[in-house]
Amino acid sequence: MDRIPTERDVVALLGDWASGRGPLYRKLAQALGEAIEDGALLADDRLPSERALAEALQVSRATVVAAYEELRGRGLLVSRQGSGTRVARDVRIRRPSADGRVPGGTATTIFQRLIDGPGELISVAVAAGDAAPELAVALRELVRDDLDELLAGPGYHPSGLPALREAVAAHLTGTGLPTAHDEILVTTGAHQGLVLVTELYVSPGATVLVEAPNWPGCLDVFRAAGARLATVPLDDEGAEVRAVSAMLRERKPALLYLMPTYHNPTGVLMSAARRHRIAELAAEHEVPVLEDNAYMTYHPESGAVPAPLAAYAPPRTEMLSLGSLAKAVWGGLRIGWVRGPAEIVQRLARRKVLADIGSPVLDQAIAARLLPQLDRILASRAQELGRQLDHIDGLLRERLPSWRWRRPDGGGALWVELPGVDAMAFAQVAVRHGVDVVPGTAMDPDGGHGNHIRLPFTFAPSTLDELVHRLARAWAEIERHGPAPAVQIVV
């Protein structure tokens, strides 16, 4: 059976192909050629028609025609009557794709940006800021006071440094979720916690119920496990109860995955009443729940944050909670945790031992010093994020008044609706103006939210000024002029 990548599949492989100098057709040919030689596009794959790919990339058809022609001249593409343009059958793969671009999944472009670095682009793929100043203080104190004691032992703590497990347990207890140290597994970031929980609960063909939209990196973890993704929508209080109830009854998922505290990408804070009702439904249908609270930061206007979802769970409900210091302190401090029933935590710990034996001890020791200060750190972050949110809100209202967004309850990004414009097409125009945008379809397993983008605002005011300036220029091009004009080919 023919493998026919769609134009959206091809666009996802190309990344920021249009950035930099030179004719568009040559940059497109270069990007397509690399995808072929890296093995991301396979021999005999049928490529989209010139017209379809041009529309997806928001360029003229002549640009794609010229790019295809150049690749035919290099022997990478062939055209056959009645079967379109295909990757040549005898093409030689230069290197496995895992040695070139990040392999597979909707988050590929996002993670590739972390590897490549932003270059001249302003990348809004990741909402991350500088380290909290308390991190440097904790590091100096650790070296001064505790380093000799830490280095005295073998350094292996598969379930986590005892002092950090105690600190996380005390923090969660303070949020309204009574927790003991043996209910905590320390992980190398929340992402590892998600992977371990997925390994425990999700087998190929099993259903995972998720909110839509969602973060692509999380969706890819479930897909890699062979899961079938079912979705529920959100409203201003979180995941819609009727939809959750219906899907639990009809699909009987292996896992319910939710982001109740500042959902990513919408910034919605799930209400206490909604948490209580969803916890009851999970208990009623005997479905394990993973709540992801790694997006742990907030704005001053959001007020009190309800207790974690697990605090509302009836007895014997299998409820696990993810947490992390990445957003609150620093993304480079790769410390996260899973909170759950002690017997489940032990099973997860056995899987973690196989993955990495244990998270870095020095990072854990620093985290143990920071956890007691976390409320103060979050309050300081809240003030900074509030100023950044006000700044970008004012800029967008002035420069892009037709865009629509809901002011988020928390987090570091806006979920923006682009009226009447496909976000993937806009992303292609935006990258030519120096902005790397993630379209909403990458965040929806059903392919919805095609007219949305996630727009982080965790940047300095000067960067936000330039970001909105570039976005406004891209919007003017796509709104007034449509696709780029035909390229003039010089032979």
User: Domain containing 406 — which CATH number?
Assistant: 3.90.1150.10
**Could you tell me if 431 and 305 lie in one domain?**
no
- Say what the alpha-carbon torsion angle 8, 267, 348, 377 is, to the nearest 10 degrees: 130
- Nearest of 218, 237, 240, 239 to residue 229 by alpha carbon: 218
- Which structure tokens are listed for 383? 């003030």
**Could you tell me if 16 and 159 lie in one domain?**
no
**Last residue within a domain, chosen from 345, 374, 403:** 374
**Could you tell me if 359 and 382 lie in one domain?**
no
Cα 104 from Cα 225, distance rounded (Å): 13
Cα 60 from Cα 54, distance rounded (Å): 6
- Which structure tokens are listed for 24? 């568009």
**Could you tell me if 214 and 328 lie in one domain?**
yes
- Nearest of 256, 192, 202 to residue 225 by alpha carbon: 202
Q: Characterize the bridge pairing of strands 452-456 and 435-436.
A: unpaired
**Could you tell me if 82 and 119 lie in one domain?**
no
pLDDT, block means (10 residues), the chain with 491 residues: 77 82 91 91 92 90 94 92 87 59 53 52 75 87 83 86 97 97 97 97 98 95 97 97 98 97 95 97 97 80 84 94 93 94 97 94 95 91 92 98 95 95 92 91 94 95 97 92 47 33
Look up the domain containing 397 and give its range. Answer: 108-130+376-480
Before 213, cis peptide (omega within 30)?
yes
Does some domain include residue 1? no
Long-range contacts of 115-120 (CB under 8 A, 24+ apart): 118/436, 119/19, 120/19, 120/20, 120/434
Under 8 Å between Cβ of 83 and 46: yes
pLDDT at position 109 is: 54
The count of other CB atoms within 10 Å of the CB of residue 286 is 11
The count of other CB atoms within 10 Å of the CB of residue 203 is 11
What size, in residues, is the chain?
A: 491
Taking CA atoms, 75 is separated from 29, 81, 86, in Å, by 12, 17, 11
Task: Give me the residue label for tokens 């021999």.
Answer: 43
**Could you tell me if 94 and 115 lie in one domain?**
no
For residue 419, what are the contacts with CB-CB under 8 A and spacing of at least 6? 402, 403, 404, 451
**Could you tell me if 411 and 399 lie in one domain?**
yes
User: Domain containing 211 — which CATH number?
Assistant: 3.40.640.10
Count of the separate structural domains present in the chain: 3
Residue type, 128: A
Does some domain include residue 2? no
**Could you tell me if 344 and 250 lie in one domain?**
yes
Q: Is the dihedral of CA 337, 342, 345, 350 positive or negative?
A: positive
Does some domain include residue 344? yes
**Last residue within a domain, chosen from 350, 374, 398:** 374
- Nearest of 407, 359, 333, 327 to residue 126 by alpha carbon: 327
Cα 302 from Cα 271, distance rounded (Å): 11
DSSP states of 77-101 as a string? EEEETTTEEEE-TTPPPSS-GGGSS
Taking CA atoms, 152 is separated from 156, 160, 361, in Å, by 11, 17, 12
pLDDT at position 327 is: 87
Cα 362 from Cα 368, distance rounded (Å): 10
Cα 209 from Cα 204, distance rounded (Å): 14
User: Domain containing 46 — which CATH number?
Assistant: 1.10.10.10
| Residue spans of alpha helices (H) in 15-132 | 24-37, 50-57, 61-73, 108-116
Residue type, 160: G
Does some domain include residue 489? no
**Could you tell me if 313 and 240 lie in one domain?**
yes
**Could you tell me if 87 and 186 lie in one domain?**
no
Under 8 Å between Cβ of 416 and 405: yes
Cα 359 from Cα 380, distance rounded (Å): 28
- Nearest of 349, 344, 373, 370 to residue 359 by alpha carbon: 349
**Could you tell me if 87 and 158 lie in one domain?**
no
Does some domain include residue 490? no
380 exposure class (CB count in 10 Å sphere: 0-12, 13-18, 19+)? middle
Does some domain include residue 74? yes
Which DSSP category does 210 fall into? E
**Could you tell me if 79 and 208 lie in one domain?**
no
